[in-house]
Amino acid sequence: MVYDVSAKGARVMTQALISPGDRVAINLRLPNQAASTVIELATVRWGKEQTYGIEFQGVSSSADTRLQTFMDRLSMPSVGPTP
């Protein structure tokens, strides 16, 4: 499970046995996107219990575009009903 995601990394929870310094590849299923975003290389920077901070390093241009689209949607103000 992914709790926080940015253009540079993410905070994830997994039952996989990983440790700081390990290199991993991950598939992210971001909301409102038809296909998974593949991060070919990420390094585990910290871990506590089953939660880890990972830093993205092998990000293709298509994955970078998907991450930026996701981040742009998060930063857009929500539009509510007009009084």
Per-domain boundaries in the chain: 2-71
Per-residue pLDDT at 20: 96
With a cut of 60, say whether residue 51 has pLDDT above it: yes
CATH architecture of 2-71: Beta Barrel (2.40)
Is residue 56 scored above 80 in pLDDT? yes
Q: Is the pLDDT of residue 36 over 90?
A: no
- More confident call, 64 vs 43: 43
More confident residue, 71 or 81: 71
Least Cα distance to 36 among 44, 26, 45, 51 occurs for: 26
CB proximity list for 21: less than 8 A, separation 6 or greater: 43, 44
What is the SS3 assignment for 7?
Answer: coil
Mean per-residue pLDDT, 3-12: 89
